[in-house]
Amino acid sequence: EDAATLFQVEGIHPERLRIQPWFEYRDYRNKKYGVLLKSGEDWRCQRLTLNREVLSVAGMNRFLPLLDNVGQDFVRRVYTQVERSGRGKWTADLSNELFRFALESVCYVLYGQRLGLLQDYINPESQEFIDSITLMFHTTSPMLYIPPRVFRLMNVSIWKDHVKSWDAIFNHADLCIQGIYSSLRQRPDNTYSGVLSSLLLQHQLPLEDIKASITE
């Protein structure tokens, strides 16, 4: 109820917490802000477009089969690990398994591609993506208390690692976009293959805006 009251009184252009390290990286690399970092009318226009894709009933009905697919794979993985334990118990690292499940689900819904995180072997490209996300969050924390511009001017390892991690994350988005365009040329039908593909086909947002919001 408290959250509902807050959302009702904040108006159509709410102010969100500024994650300054993320702004600093985008300014440094001359990249656009996504919906998570935007504000004002620009935020509202983009958010309304994205809402139809990810929050509407029709939008959710399109990607629920993708989530179901990942969910079934996760359940099979749990049963397999229980059998391997020899004790009839699930002895795996819960936080690590849930992280794999969450990231696999999100990436499948957004990009229409599986990372293979629910397999015993993770390919090097997917592992690099996971490591980059972990590093990005790890390097974000210190720069929430000290202005990231200070780290940038001093060119210390925290800033360099932060840039490196975001570079890898955006590079992954670029590769996914290239893969989607290639798939559309080979299979130009109406088969739903994720939020990113759907947004690209709609032509309602500029490509760089789509990439920024999907990445965030």
pLDDT in tens, 180-190: 878 777 766 66
Question: What is the reported pTM?
Answer: 0.83
Each residue's pLDDT tens digit, 58-114: 888 989 999 999 999 999 988 888 888 777 777 777 888 888 999 999 999 998 888
* Residue that is written with structure tokens 């990005």 in the block: 136
CATH for 181: 1.10.630.10
Residue 45 lies in a domain: yes
Give Cβ neighbours of residue 2 (< 8 Å, ≥ 6 apart): none
Total tally of structural domains belonging to the chain: 1
Residue 7 lies in a domain: no
CA distance 195 to 204: 13
Residue 3 lies in a domain: no
Confidence label for 201 from pLDDT (cuts 50, 70 and 90): confident
